[in-house]
Amino acid sequence: MGDLDGLDLGGFGIYTFDFEHQPAALIRESVRELEERGWPVVWIPELMGRDAFTHAGYLLSSTRRLRVVNGIAQIWSRQARYAYGAALLLADAYPGRHVLGLGFGGVPQPGVTPLAAMAGYLDEMDGIETPNPRPETPIRRILAAYGPKMLELARDRAAGALTYHVTVAHTARAREILGPGAFLGVEHAVLFERDPARARAVAREHLHPYLTSPYNIAKFRRLGYPDEEIANGGSDRLVDDLVFWGDPDTVVAKLRGHVEAGADHVAVQVIGIEPGRSAMPQWRMLGDALLPASGLTGAGVRPTA
């Protein structure tokens, strides 16, 4: 679905739910500072009511260079033709700055597996004929993926994959499946807290929705965690693998582990931020450690098959 040559997401970016709780003025101030500080990309989910494309368009319009990735736009939230039309407009208005991340989210249809649903959505999207002008810079597309078959679909039908709440070992396996030519972006949660008890308490609160949902429980089992480690808030081992906590040097070293395992890009999610407040102090700290001086600029998004 188009050529993605020339788009470089850099080695590290920001992934945040925080904008869902903030007024437009604070969001605009935040993304402008992130851009000024050299962050190459911001990833935004679609979960708490803000439409994926309206949200992305606002962030793009508030900045000049910042890339914005939908991480992810839920396929159940809109028909494929409207996702395609919105992505066309963003590609035209902000050449090379928007990446359409698609994922199995929202209210599923009974009897339809995530893989079949995504494949059908891509089929519909790729077959659309529209009077909307085609931009000179094509739509960029990646898929939220975890299991082998969805990763293969991301490799074959998109530029690559975004993984969410996985381990460094999974990153290595995902790279094997994707091969050397597909993009692999990895989200990982971090918390700057040195006290183990406090850190794990905050991490467990963050992980609770994932440790109690069927799809995520299945994912953690496939990562090698037995049921007793998933139940009751998760074992210390599981929590520590999914949320990197501690002093900045410790956190940064663990994030680099994903790059060493084969990730092109790590989308860092700072947790433990009170709704409505900004994570800017933590983003500044991360930027000092991870941005260009680190030398890990990443491979960028590669061409779609």
Q: What is the pLDDT of residues 168-190, one digit of tens each?
A: 999 999 999 999 999 999 999 99
Share of the chain above pLDDT 70, in %: 92
Residues in Cβ contact with 175 at an 8 Å cutoff, skipping those fewer than 6 apart: 184, 261, 262, 263
Mean pLDDT value of segment 266-289: 96
Separation of alpha carbons 156 and 139, rounded Å: 16
Q: DSSP letter at 18?
A: G
Q: What value does the mean pLDDT take over residues 45-73?
A: 96
Look up residue 133 and give its two tokens: 């002008």
pTM: 0.92
- Spell out the CATH class of 12-192+246-294: alpha beta
Position 299 pLDDT exceeds 50: no
pLDDT for the residue 106: 62
Rounded CA-CA distance 220/236 in Å is 14
- What gap in Å lies between CA 131 and CA 262, rounded to an integer? 40
- Reduced to 3 DSSP states, what percent helix, strand and coil does the chain have, rounded to the nearest 5? 45, 15, 40
Q: Which residue has the tokens 């925080």?
A: 18
Over range 280-289, report the average pLDDT.
Answer: 97
Domain ranges of the chain: 12-192+246-294
Mean pLDDT, the chain, rounded, equals 92
Q: Give pLDDT tens digits for 205-247.
A: 999 999 999 889 999 999 999 999 999 999 999 999 999 999 9
> 188 φ, ψ to 5°?
-145, 135
